[in-house]
Structure 1
Amino acid sequence: MAASAAVQLLGLSLSVVGWAGVILVAGLPMWRVTAFMEANIVVAQTTWEGLWMSCVVQSTGQMQCKVHDSVLALSGELQAGRTLMVMGALLGLVALLVTVVGAQCTTCLRGGRLKDWVAAAGGALFVACGLLVLVPPCWFAHNIIANFYDPNVPQSQKREMGAALYLGWATAALLLLGGGLICASGVCKGELSAFPVKYAAPRRPPTATAASNGDYDKKNYV
């Protein structure tokens, strides 16, 4: 039981860190950054593009950000990225509440199979959250790489993968790993508790003294 609780707590900690990372990644503007094709060119500014805003960083260190004006005027990948990241953040919140209710370290429910299966359901929701969060970074990375090697795209419009994509992959991995640990701990504990093992004390054979006393008593009664 102690090992199952430790695994569940580890999975919950990883999932909470991953869920916080989802919120951070969704707000970062560094999904796409300016691609520098030649190293000998002195660049005066760098462009960052995110889901909600785009920023221009000057060589002096000054940064100016502008929120996207129209939602309908955004590209399909930006709209899908926003939707999936928001859904992932909300689903992670629901998964956190369900897991806390079914966790072994809380007293929201009485211990039993129901509590273990509730914790397993929370872990499954964390896994689903990780899958949702994994889609936007992969989609952005595919489009960035395709445009980078496309000769028809001007060099001024070529972009590179930003730090937010790598953080998105890391948070998705944490959610998948943490949710898997929670599911494994809850299901395994539930299966073990469903089949209790009963131990019976072995019978001792009668000793020679007891047998002789029994024979002596029988003789006296006869």
Structure 2
Amino acid sequence: MAPSALQNGGFILGLIGAAALIAATAMNKWSVKDRQGDVVTSVYTYKGLWQDCETTTSGFTECRPLYGLLGFSGTFQAVRALMIVGVVLAVLGTVISVFSLSCLTMNKMEDTTKAKMSLTAGIMFIIAGVCGIAGGSIYAHQIVSSFMMSSYSNYGGGYEQGMMGGGMGMGMGMGGGMSGGLPRYTFGPALFVAWIGGGVLLIAGILKSVSFKEMVKDDEKPRYPGVVYKPQSHSQTEVIDHHMEQRKGEQKYV
């Protein structure tokens, strides 16, 4: 495959993955309240990395910002940090990827420089994709743990509620839930957006890295055009005249 096609494909996928990672980080629906088995309620609760929100059936939404650093667990802060690092690297990789495109001509920029920039953008995309997938997976693991503990809240429910409320830093005790137990939360759409964005960034990084190899191979090929040797053609009269001159010269010496 041509290096330009790999570069363009990696750039487009990197742009899509960066947009998905930014959207997932800003979304509030990382976890949503599970309504299965609940009594009909007029409050819809969902939580994100930066806000906990409640929406009523009338359409009124109230969100509580999650400010500060000391009030949340290390796991929750790690998810925030992973998503922020992923967003920053994805954006930087997209900017570098623009300047490394072979279709973009810039003065005094060699092909080897563009190849190195393409590899740098590919590495950034791969790291950003890993950060997005890891952040979503860690958050999903906490949701699964909270779901299992709330399902078996009869076994030390008070301790589990305190542990999960402070462990995840997501306000697990906010809003109703199962009668006599903990509220249960399930996966929100932001998790799937983060996973998809991370996977797209991984593919983009691989394409950019492969394009680096192709660009290096093309740069090693000789750049000068081939020279075709053509023997000098002589007409028959020129050959005869040259032969006669040689014979005259021989007779003169004799």
TM-score, normalisation: structure 1: 0.82
Distance in structure 2 (CA, Å) of the matches to 1:65 and 1:8:
42
Structure 1 46/107 Cα, relative in aligned 2: closer, same or farther at 3 Å?
Answer: same
**Is 1:33 the equivalent of 2:59?**
no
Structure 1 145/98 Cα, relative in aligned 2: closer, same or farther at 3 Å?
Answer: same
Distance in structure 1 (CA, Å) of the matches to 2:46 and 2:87:
23
What residue in structure 1 maps to residue 148 of structure 2?
149
What residue in structure 1 maps to residue 3 of structure 2?
4
**Is 1:176 the equivalent of 2:196?**
no
Q: List aligned pairs for 1:36-185, cutoff 5 A.
A: 36-38=35-37, 41-104=39-102, 105-107=104-106, 110-150=109-149, 151-153=151-153, 155=178, 156-185=182-211
Cα offset, 1:53, TM superposition: 0.5
CA contact (8 A) 2:111 2:215 kept: no
CA contact (8 A) 1:117 1:187 kept: no
Cα offset, 1:98, TM superposition: 2.2
Identity of aligned residues (%): 24
What residue in structure 1 maps to residue 220 of structure 2?
194
Distance in structure 1 (CA, Å) of the matches to 2:98 and 2:107:
8
In the alignment, structure 1 segments of 5+ residues that lack a partner are 205-209
Distance in structure 2 (CA, Å) of the matches to 1:109 and 1:157:
62
CA contact (8 A) 1:117 1:190 kept: no
Q: What secondary structure is seen at the aligned counterpart in 2 of 1:149?
A: helix
Give the paired residue count: 215
Q: What secondary structure is seen at the aligned counterpart in 1 of 2:69?
A: coil
Q: Which has the larger radius of gyration?
A: 2
Distance in structure 2 (CA, Å) of the matches to 1:45 and 1:93:
37
Bigger mean CA deviation after superposition, 191-200 or 74-83: 191-200
CA contact (8 A) 2:128 2:201 kept: yes
Distance in structure 2 (CA, Å) of the matches to 1:70 and 1:78:
12
CA contact (8 A) 2:31 2:186 kept: yes
Over the residues paired in the alignment, what is the CA RMSD in angstroms?
A: 3.0
**1:98 alignment partner AA:** I
Q: What secondary structure is seen at the aligned counterpart in 1 of 2:79?
A: helix
Structure 1 30/134 Cα, relative in aligned 2: closer, same or farther at 3 Å?
Answer: same
